[in-house]
């Protein structure tokens, strides 16, 4: 499924069809349950294309900025393809299937906690996002963080503790929240 949106300008129907055509090539590399969210932003120096792929709680993002909308699409799709190949190589090389099944089985016993409803009106919060924590090890969290292109990633450790892995100048850091 494709969701295509533009911010700051109107997107032509031909461009939408072109995006879908490009993404159909990428879609073959992913499970059929994957969904694509494509967002275009008008920038001073051109257009930004952001493609987010969601599948069973996993995310991958390809993004690019270019002077034309067509080239930003091409660069973002290329970025996404590169990340998919990198992930598949990692998964095949490590033969991670068994470990992922064990984590999925242990998630069945996990109970979701309700977030507290505190008043943050004194702060200038610009965006509020809800995330669903998945149980994984540090290596899998690094892969997810790299696939998203973020500097940090929050997850549940295999021991059930809340963890945040983040990029440092050289290597990664890990924050663990003990109850």
Tens digits of residue pLDDT in 47-98: 999 998 887 667 888 899 999 888 999 999 999 888 888 877 776 665 544 5
Whole-number mean pLDDT of the chain? Answer: 80
9-38 pLDDT, tens digit per residue, is 888 888 888 888 888 888 887 777 888 899
pTM for this predicted structure:
0.58
131-177 carries CATH number 3.40.50.620: no
Q: Domain limits of the chain?
A: 2-94, 131-177
Measured CA distances, 88 to 44, 69, 112, 131 (Å): 36, 29, 30, 24
Q: In the structure, what pLDDT confidence band is assigned to residue 103 with cuts at 50, 70 and 90?
A: low
Q: In the structure, what pLDDT confidence band is assigned to residue 163 with cuts at 50, 70 and 90?
A: very high
Residue 116 pLDDT exceeds 90: no
d(CA 134, CA 176) in angstroms, rounded, equals 15
Amino acid 117: pLDDT:
54
Crossing angle of the two packed helices 69-94 and 13-27, in degrees rounded to 10:
10
90, 143 Cβ separation under 8 angstroms = yes
Amino acid 96: pLDDT:
46
Q: Judging by DSSP bridges, how do beta strands 35-43 and 46-55 pair with one another?
A: antiparallel
Residue 17 phi/psi, 5° resolution?
-65, -40
Mention every residue, 6+ apart, whose C-beta is less than 8 A from residue 4: 11, 16, 19, 20, 38, 40
DSSP 3-state of 163 = strand
Amino acid 48: pLDDT:
92
What is the topology classification, in CATH, of domain 2-94?
Double Stranded RNA Binding Domain (3.30.160)
């Amino acid at each position: 499924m494709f969701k295509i949106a533009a911010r700051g300008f109107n997107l032509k129907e031909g461009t939408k069809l072109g995006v879908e055509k490009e993404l159909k090539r990428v879609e073959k590399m992913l499970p059929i349950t994957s969904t694509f969210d494509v967002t275009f932003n008008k920038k001073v120096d051109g257009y930004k294309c952001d493609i987010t792929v969601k599948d069973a709680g996993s995310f991958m993002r390809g993004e690019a900025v270019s002077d034309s909308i067509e080239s930003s699409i091409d660069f973002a799709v290329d970025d996404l393809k590169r990340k998919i190949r990198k992930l598949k190589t990692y998964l095949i090389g490590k033969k991670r299937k068994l470990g992922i099944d064990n984590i999925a089985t242990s998630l069945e016993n996990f109970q979701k906690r309700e977030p507290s409803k505190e008043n943050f009106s004194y702060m200038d919060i610009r965006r509020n996002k809800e995330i669903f924590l998945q149980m994984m090890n540090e290596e899998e969290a690094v892969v997810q963080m790299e696939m998203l292109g973020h500097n940090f990633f929050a997850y549940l450790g295999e021991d059930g503790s809340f963890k945040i892995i983040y990029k440092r100048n050289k290597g990664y850091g890990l924050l663990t929240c003990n109850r």
